[in-house]
A and B are shown apart, each in its own frame.
Chain A
């Protein structure tokens, strides 16, 4: 029962420390945006920016239909044989997160952190990969990162440096408005001004208590949150001067297949956000509920179906759900690949990671995770079976390096294996 998070904790501390250094260098309340002001103009002329999206399908994919039957040949995968951007993706086999043997559904919390034993009662998560990336490549856009989920569950893939869940957005209409709808600038300005004053007030109060040395842990935590919110307000203030991009609303409002529509729309929003350079880091959590969902060809409790136990009838329904998800994923990659950018396409400059915390959700097994890496301009291999079970964090570490982040370690990583 002892928490085995030690090494990971240290690693995350390292990351936190390196960030803290940056913070000191720049000054505590300096907005993320100001740092990049002068860079922005130059950047425009240079290479297209690098972007990244992580998608976690919380109930996984039925492995025999997902992985190609013959090594290296995507055409022998029931699920992936129709992928349109087949030249620009790699399916990895034998990746896993160590320390998930008894984690069950809790393993979802660690999909992007790699922190072991998420089921234990004293579990504290680590920072998620997207948040590390957002600090480095997310500073120059209106939104340092975006985080989506299907349902209003309050947590998804993104976890901050204290291991707290960052609540994802789940309402597609609201996300669209946030990204593209003009707001009343005057009242927004006024609100930001007033909020800054309130933050000042709260900080004064904290300073007083701090001298009284009451409950340092609590006050430190609150001080940090205040400082983060302050930085966010500064960032928002900076972006008030830039009009939001205008795009045609292309969200589906099909109510017959609500789940399917939601998946479609969140992919669509991810595409629009990337295309308009509103953000460069996105996570998308395909979370689940006990209740029934309806996709073309099947209706049922997704979770109930996921425990198929090999029953062919149940598998038939489950595969309709999984095919539907991959259909939207396929379309997303295809659309991204249709948008020219620089010397290639938007997809070429966007790393897409699709995967799951489960290798086999029917038996709650977290080995051999289904992982696809697409786009990003890598030399793709279609299907790559690793020699031995390999920590997914090795791939994550490599992704950090691919985005010029000089990290020695991430989560349970051993080394950058240069898989891409």
Chain B
């Protein structure tokens, strides 16, 4: 052993190739050599504290080193990030350090990661969208399969039958949309300036104004933000719609008024709210009416609703303050082009037969019954409350049986006529929204007839809710084509003993998709060769490889079989396309690739775009030229492409855990300022900021602190920054006295690390420690009593947590957790600045939202802490502390991005390489460079 000491060891570390050579010729020798040197270095630098007798931090290195294989991650990480040896101790030279690191990496007991991974559901949906030329979001239909793994790409995640089955379903849904069997729906237009009725408590915040409606701020009583549902427009089929609001701001204040536009099922009062999706936000600053337009994906059965927000118009019932919406104009379902992109993408140069798709205007006042050419008749009516009032699409007006001069005798009924014998699935019923309930229907039965005189047994009977005014569906057990449908009132509210009946609106339920006219595009070909080419082109992109006839055969065959069976070229092609996107070559990565360039192209596209390669990448790959320089050029190009935003979104989701952002709803008692609008923009700030850092290739230190962020009016309000008008996101210089700047102080991050009530310095501290500072933490040791801050004792919060100090086994890790959390105590669970804690005050009865909330201020926030030898007073101090070691922050980022790109944590060997990518100069350590290097290293196997 002694003999090897004398051999200079750095020679074989100098370059990879030399190292490989050395290992091949004298593996034993070098190994022993390395070991002996490492041992010696451990003796010199570590054993003072970590030998069998001292065992500081419970670590006895001398014993550990005896082992053939052990997990040296903690030792390795402490050494590489210069946490150990301690600053005041003698430091190894960088060459010596490298010896120890190398040796530790050879001793590492690591399982080699699986050679492949399944693609994630996000990658699946983006890829198929790009393959088909669609923009669908069907991720929700595929089960989340990440489990407790941090990254979607994790190779430990297994494909299951349930998942494959979900991919079959998702594939169908997407193909149905791209190449619909029954053709594409016509584009229609609607115009409306009325809203559906809502509970009285909300009606005070909206009123008729000029030609349309005036909305003021409308947070409803129990905390749900009620929004107003537009009447006279329902999407006939699912698809993209353009929603154009002619709107203006009213009020003498500087800021814009925001209109939040949602899609969801109509509800009348918020005791039965329906979930709504926020489609977008209109920022209205103009005082003269102008069009504000967004696009939204809508489903049949949904309505479009709006909610107005401005901090100046809280419950304004008088005066001209708020947002005036003159009219909503809708156009859709939209297709980008005609023939639609999906046909151009899939069928490329094949000749298409596409009939003209002209805009057809529907009469926005027509009901489903009117659309199928139906009529209505009633048993009796009161003047001014005629049968037409059930068909005017308003439940403020209503039909009523005759009560003067005499009271009409029962039976009371409505007959709906269906002269063209269309398929009817049921009835849609609403009470009228005013009155005291008298006459409202409690029981009904439905019977059918073909001549209007002889009626069959009732096909449906049941009860209805009264005083609800929301729509109630009355489904039939089976669809009917009968000419006459009788809706018989069997029971009604009778407050004065008279037999009365009234209805706000009554309509038939028809399958609107089936009744909407469609246009079918056909491919003018019946050539099997054409079919084969369609499948080939699609499969070669999806699989990122050229395919031999032999390889293509199964995918082509399934289409050919379908073609010979029914002769429909497009639908036959669909079968093959579906097989391609359910294939292991597509779902399991890496697939089977013709050459290394194709494999690299697939990897790059998946990592940076969550998709399949584009034509350019494929062209480079075909020539097998995606190597070294060209790969760097491609990474650069791909990061500049808008599709890189998917990577940013996905990476933030995983690295910063923003995927859990919406799982936390802040308490409105403690944080009445929080609302949907803020919730919508908080994650956008983080993503837009990171995107900016990458595009501009700014230093990694910007992750920690910055003199700008990407903000809008609502975010600036949240951060107490003046002078930002309008909800468009833009780069904003931060004032000198703000604590903001960098990721740590963003509301998104501050919110996701809480439960929406209290902040936990432990949770937040662990988050910073793991995700930003990059400390290696172990789980709590066995059977240690948990120390948790109690919810209602804010004053002693810090003292309680500081108990960790008194227990050595706790403190070993918590000294690297809690202090980060302390510094962030300046921010509440929504990310607002605070100097005192809010403590909930008890109150009786139903929660009634109010601006001042239900809390009192108690206890000063103490944000001081100590990490290592360095003390800090507050968040600024913590940021400065983190900034002193840019290499550690960059190293952590590189490791996280590596894991994102590869689906496993870098091995110790790989970590050495990653660390070496990081420039010593903070200003030279730039984010886009770092990402480029990590990606290149991941897919090329060497450092650029």
Task: Please report the C-alpha to C-alpha distance between residue A300 and residue B779 in the assembled complex, in whole angstroms.
Answer: 25
The 8 closest A-B pairs by CB, nearest first: A301-B755, A167-B143, A154-B144, A307-B788, A164-B158, A204-B554, A228-B161, A201-B558
Q: Does A363 contact B (CB under 8 A)?
A: yes
Instruction: Name the distance in Å between B332's Cβ and chain A's nearest Cβ.
Output: 25
> Could you tell me if A194 and B575 are in contact, using CB atoms closer than 8 angstroms?
yes
> Which among B145, B575, B787 is the interface contact of A167 at CB below 8 angstroms?
B145
Collect the chain B residues with CB atoms within 8 Å of residue A290's CB. 660, 663-664, 754-756, 763
Q: Report chain B residues within 8 Å CB of A27.
A: none
Residue of B nearest to A226 (CB): B164
Mark interface residues in B153-164 (1 if CB within 8 Å of A CB, else 0). Answer: 000101111111
Q: Which residue of B has the minimal Cβ distance to A209?
A: B592
Identify the closest chain B residue to A304 (Cβ). B755
Interface residue? A206 (CB, 8 A): yes
How far is A124 from B155 in the complex, measured between Cα atoms in Å?
Answer: 12
A385 contacts B by Cβ under 8 Å: no
The docked-state distance in angstroms from the alpha carbon of A82 to that of B785 is 31
B529 → chain A, closest Cβ, in Å? Answer: 19
Kindly provide the distance from the CB of B57 to the nearest chain A CB, expressed in whole angstroms.
17
Is B655 an interface position by the 8 A CB rule? Answer: no
Most buried by A among B115, B159, B165, B786: B786
CB distance from A313 to the nearest CB of B (A): 6
Contact B578 A198 (CB under 8 A): yes
Q: Across the interface, do B667 and A299 meet the contact criterion of CB distance under 8 Å? A: yes
B106-123 CB contact bits vs A (8 Å, 1 = yes)? Answer: 000101001110000000
A97 to chain B: closest CB distance in Å? 14
Report yes or no: A208 in contact with B786, Cβ–Cβ below 8 A.
no
B168 contacts across to A, CB distance below 8 A: 195, 198, 229
Closest Cβ of chain A to B538, distance in Å, is 14
Q: Is A17 an interface residue (CB 8 A)?
A: no
Given the interface pairs A215-B116, A290-B664, A292-B667, the reply to whether A198 lies near B579 with Cβ below 8 Å is yes
Which of A201, A229, A309 contacts B161, CB < 8 Å? A229
Counting chain B residues whose Cβ lies within 8 A of the other chain, the interface size class is 35 or more
Residue pair B755, A206 in contact (C-beta under 8 Å): no
Interface status of B807 (Cβ within 8 A of chain A): no
Q: A104 near B779 (CB under 8 angstroms)?
A: yes
Cβ contact within 8 Å between A313 and B159: no
19 contacts between A and B (CB under 8 A): A152-B143, A194-B562, A197-B558, A201-B555, A201-B558, A202-B584, A205-B551, A218-B584, A222-B587, A229-B168, A290-B754, A290-B755, A291-B664, A292-B755, A301-B756, A309-B786, A309-B790, A313-B790, A363-B786
Task: Tell me how far the C-beta of B766 lies from the nearest C-beta in chain A, rounded to whole angstroms.
Answer: 12
11 further A-B contacts with Cβ under 8 Å, apart from A205-B584, A291-B664, A363-B784, are A121-B111, A121-B905, A152-B143, A154-B143, A160-B161, A197-B575, A209-B592, A229-B161, A289-B664, A313-B792, A363-B786
With a CB–CB cut-off of 8 A, which chain A residues contact B561? 197
Interface members, chain A 1-34 (any B CB < 8 Å): 1-2
Output the least CB separation between B563 and chain A (Å): 12
Verify if A35 is at the interface (C-beta below 8 Å from B).
no
In Å, the complex CA distance between A268 and B878 comes to 51
Q: What are the residues of chain A within 8 A of B163 when measuring CB–CB?
A: 167
Whether, in the assembled complex, A225 has its beta carbon less than 8 Å from a beta carbon of chain B, the answer is yes
Asked whether any CB of chain A lies closer than 8 Å to the CB of B845, the reply is no
* Alpha-carbon gap, A300 to B790, bound state (A): 12
Known: A290-B660, A363-B784. A218 touches B116 (CB 8 A): yes
- A124, A202, A300: residue with the most chain B Cβ atoms closer than 10 Å: A202
A residues in contact (CB < 8 Å) with B: 1-2, 101-102, 104-106, 109, 119, 121-122, 124, 151-155, 160, 162-167, 191, 194-195, 197-198, 200-202, 204-206, 208-209, 214-215, 217-219, 221-222, 225-226, 228-229, 232, 253, 255-256, 289-292, 299-301, 303-305, 307-309, 311, 313-314, 317, 362-365
> Known contacts A228-B161, A255-B271: does B558 contact A200 (CB below 8 Å)?
yes
Q: With the chains together, A222 CA to B118 CA distance in Å?
A: 10
Collect the chain A residues with CB atoms within 8 Å of residue B555's CB: 201, 205
A279 to B771, CA, bound (A): 44
Interface contact B760-A304, CB-CB below 8 Å = yes
B159 touches A314 (CB 8 A): no
B585–A303 touching, CB < 8 Å:
no
Known: A208-B550, A362-B786. A102 touches B779 (CB 8 A): yes
- A residues in contact with B271, CB < 8 Å: 255-256
* CB of B121, distance to nearest CB on chain A (Å): 10
Partner of B757 from A166, A215, A304, A364 at Cβ < 8 Å: A304
- A304 cross-chain contacts in B, Cβ below 8 A: 755, 757-758, 760, 788, 791
Binding site for A on B (CB under 8 A): 71, 109, 111, 114-116, 143-148, 156, 158-165, 168, 172, 271-273, 550-551, 553-555, 557-558, 561-562, 575, 578-579, 582-585, 587-588, 592, 660, 663-665, 667, 754-758, 760, 763, 779-788, 790-792, 905
Closest residue of B by beta carbon distance from A195: B168
- Chain A residues positioned under 8 Å from B788 (CB to CB): 304, 307-309, 362
Q: Which of A151, A164, A292, A365 contacts B160 (CB 8 A)?
A: A164
Contact indicator B147/A155 (Cβ below 8 Å) = yes
Is there contact, CB below 8 Å, between A165 and B273?
A: no
Residues of A within 8 A of B585 (CB): 205
Cα–Cα, bound, A362→B33 (Å): 50
Bound-state CA distance A48–B145 (Å) is: 37
Chain B residues whose CB sits within 8 angstroms of the CB of A165 once the complex forms: 145, 147, 160
Complex Cα spacing A154 to B139, Å: 13
The docked-state distance in angstroms from the alpha carbon of A205 to that of B791 is 59
Which of B145, B782, B791 contacts A313 (CB under 8 A)? Answer: B791
Is A208 touching B554 in the complex (CB atoms < 8 A)? yes
Q: Chain A residues near B71: list those with CB within 8 A.
A: 1
CA distance A314 to B757 in the complex (A): 13
Candidates A104, A166, A205; contact of B780 at CB < 8 Å: A104
Can you name the residue of chain A whose Cβ is closest to the Cβ of B782? A101
Give B274's nearest chain A residue, CB to CB: A255
What is the chain B residue whose CB lies nearest that of A2?
B109
Taking CB atoms, residues of chain B closer than 8 Å to A198 are 168, 558, 575, 578-579, 582
CA distance A309 to B801 in the complex (A): 12
